Homo-oligomer: A and B are copies of this chain.
Amino acid sequence: MEYKELNKESVISYLKNISEVMRYFGEDELQAKEIGDGNLNFVYLVNSKTNPKKALIVKQAVPYLRCVGEEFALSRERMTYEIRALSEFKKIVSEFVPELYHVSEEMSIVVMQYLDSHIILRNGLIKGQKYPNLSEHISTYLAQTLFKTSSLYLNSTQKRQLIDKFNSNTELCKLTEDFVFTSAFMEDETNDASNVENNPHAKKLFEDMEFKEKVLGLKYKFMTCNDALLHGDLHTGSIMLNDKETFVIDPEFAFVGPFGFDIGALIANLVNNYIHHSIVTTDEEFKEYLLESIKEILELFEVKFLKLWSEQKDSALMRDGFIDEATAQKFREKFVKNIIKESIGFAGCKMARRVFGVAGVAEIRGIEDKVLRQKAEVMALKISREFVVGYESVEKVDDILGMING
């Protein structure tokens, strides 16, 4: 089917031709409303008129940046990668990916489960809401998706086929290269100009050559390491959850990249939330919960990733019988330690770029009191510097907690 931009009327006629969707709705009459609050896509909530709880989400990419308008072109092929990533991840961790009812790369469309009782993790954490299963779920998600899309699990051909599917997600990878690793650390028109101007902290960051040299090294890893299929933008706004269930959404930045990048994105956003509570709510108990969560996520990730690996006898990397078990275990442990190190390096870049770069995070840029906001920024810059300059010397998870509250 040739691409056509839908609206809240035509989306219903489109769905009528999709048997999987109609099996879900049965004979019900349907209604649709546009609920997208994002910058990029149109999002329709489609539900039954007689039973509004019976609902699905339809997400369609348009060939421009929605929040700016048609004059700001952005290829709708980003949805191609979102579709491919959702499909890959669904195969691996079905329980953490919304049910998919229909996808079409030609139409840049995905029809999926409506998460009506779930909240965006970032919003929950800002309110001080604890999630009892978050660490358990997200560490499983990370260990499974990273391990099972890597050369530690796939064979050589499968791995190259995976790279093929995502290698052309150039436009969004370039956004990350620019915004996460470059423009937020130098004078650039996309930065938050009103905050950069006459700000000694911005000046200090932009002139911090020790920091920026390390950023370059991490950017190079981002561009050239083909470890595993990444979500590519795994901040706390890409996770929807409640006490029981956790879902990871919006993987349009997906590509085959370095292991540490998704883990780093998540840690960065948890630390940003920790900073928010340090400065704004001073809720010590919740801060403690956040630190515990970071520790648990990293430690559980290590354990789960190592367990998956130790059960895998053959892969592109390892042939059964090549080395003895003691050596294999040593190799694996060192390898996973290295993933944790690099995660912290990436987390530092992700945090620092939110301070003066094009896109802030609610936890810091959203602080209305200017004095408090600057205190939060200074704290973010301090921690992110510790991360970026010191990530290679991280030996254990407690070292990371020391960098955060030290």
Contact = CB atoms under 8 A, between A and B. Distances in A.
Contacts of A183: 319
Contacts of A223: 151, 156, 159, 226, 316-317
A168 interface: yes
Interface stretch (A95-103, A212-220, A377-385): A212-220
Interface in A162-195: 163-164, 167-168, 170, 173-174, 177, 182-183, 185-187
Nearest to A163: B167
A322 interface: yes
A224 interface: yes
A244 interface: no
A218 to B, nearest CB: 11
A216 B323 CA distance: 9
Interface string A192-220: 00000000000000000100110011011
A303 interface: no
B160 A173 contact: yes
A324 interface: yes
Oligomeric state, in copies: 2
A17 interface: no
A405 interface: no
A156 B182 contact: no
Contacts of A370: none
B186 A224 contact: no
A310 B216 CA distance: 15
B160 A170 contact: yes
B327 A213 contact: yes
24 contacts: A151-B220, A157-B170, A159-B223, A163-B167, A164-B164, A167-B167, A185-B322, A186-B321, A187-B321, A209-B323, A209-B326, A209-B327, A212-B322, A212-B323, A212-B327, A213-B327, A216-B318, A216-B322, A216-B331, A217-B331, A220-B317, A223-B316, A225-B226, A226-B226
Contacts of A187: 321
Given A183-B319, A224-B226, 16 more contacts: A151-B220, A151-B224, A156-B223, A160-B168, A160-B170, A163-B163, A164-B168, A186-B319, A187-B321, A209-B323, A216-B317, A216-B322, A216-B323, A219-B317, A223-B226, A224-B225
